[in-house]
């Protein structure tokens, strides 16, 4: 699994958990809407500062965005991976 794709999936998953659109995340993070789209699709290769900005906007530690999926996001105790429901 490519790292860009991995990050994209994590961003998308957490964003949806927040109930946000890409535009809202773009606003919160100060990044461009189309760039968020590119990142979620794994088409972009963001820098660590951008990763940090996304993480801050999403309210999670940056390291979470790099994790190999599966593992539930437990930190902050609020994310949890949408098991049905």
Partner DNA sequence: ATGTGACTCTCAGTCCGTA
Partner DNA sequence: TTACGGACTGAGAGTCACA
Which sign does the torsion angle of CA 47, 51, 11, 1 carry?
positive
User: Rounded CA gap, 50 and 56, in Å?
Assistant: 10
Output the smallest distance, CB 66 to DNA, in A. 14
Closest CB to DNA among 66 and 75? 66
At residue 15, φ and ψ (nearest 5 deg) are -60, -45
Residues lying near its own copies in the complex (CB under 8 A)? 3-4, 7, 45-49, 51-52, 61-64, 66-68
Output the smallest distance, CB 11 to its own copies, in A. 11
Interacting residues toward DNA by CB under 7 A: 21-23, 30-35, 37-38, 40-41, 43-47, 49-50
């Amino acid at each position: 699994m490519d790292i860009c794709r991995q990050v994209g999936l994590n961003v998308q998953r957490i964003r949806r958990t927040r109930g946000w659109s890409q535009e809202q995340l773009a606003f919160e993070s100060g990044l461009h809407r189309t760039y968020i789209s590119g990142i979620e699709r794994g088409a972009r290769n963001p820098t660590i500062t951008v990763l940090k900005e996304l993480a801050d906007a999403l309210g999670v530690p940056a390291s979470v965005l790099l994790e190999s999926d599966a593992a539930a996001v437990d930190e902050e105790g609020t994310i949890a991976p949408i098991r049905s429901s």
